[in-house]
Amino acid sequence: MKLVAITPQFVELIPREIQDGVLYISEKYGTATHRCCCGCGMKVVTSLSPARWKLYRDGNLVTLYPSIGNWDFPCRSHYWIRRSRVVWSGPMSHKEVRRVKERDQRDINRHIKQGNARKAVDILNQPKINQLAKELPNKSAQHGLWKWLKDWWNH
């Protein structure tokens, strides 16, 4: 069943078992997690960072920007979380999915390029890269990171 509202819960650590209709927010770790609002049960992880999602808080009303596009899930649901309400946008078309993926790729490239080369070397020399990849929102962004690093390394 499609949800029309979500309840924010501010936590330090995101619990392993999460409930429908709750947006778990860890400000400490800059991440928010919820179950897909369509009711399919898939877990949606949104990292709260300048390059990804922004969280606006007004008392117990939270807004996530931009929208949540679950194009990697079978449901392909797409919605906004605005002032703790779920505003449905209808499934994304293939064209929209492609556009969002391209935007992700651009964001990630920009994000990485803002760091300097030394930083990239640090990242390459440390298992930290796995952590960095995990923080990315989806497989295509992760793929973009690896590709960028490979290109940079072979440069």
Nearer to Zn ion, 73 or 148 (CB): 73
Q: Which residues bind Zn ion (CB under 5 A)?
A: 36, 38, 40, 75, 77
How buried is 64 (Cβ within 10 angstroms: 0-12 exposed, 13-18 middle, 19+ buried)?
buried
Min dist CB 72 to Zn ion, Å, is 10
Min dist CB 75 to Zn ion, Å, is 3
Nearer to Zn ion, 35 or 52 (CB): 35
Chain length of the chain: 155
Beta bridge partners of 80: 87
CA–CA gap between residue 124 and residue 109 (Å, rounded): 16
Helices (H), 16-137: 94-114, 117-124, 128-135
Min dist CB 17 to Zn ion, Å, is 18
Nearer to Zn ion, 86 or 141 (CB): 86
Q: 102 — phi, psi (to 5°)?
A: -65, -40
Nearer to Zn ion, 22 or 75 (CB): 75
Min dist CB 35 to Zn ion, Å, is 8
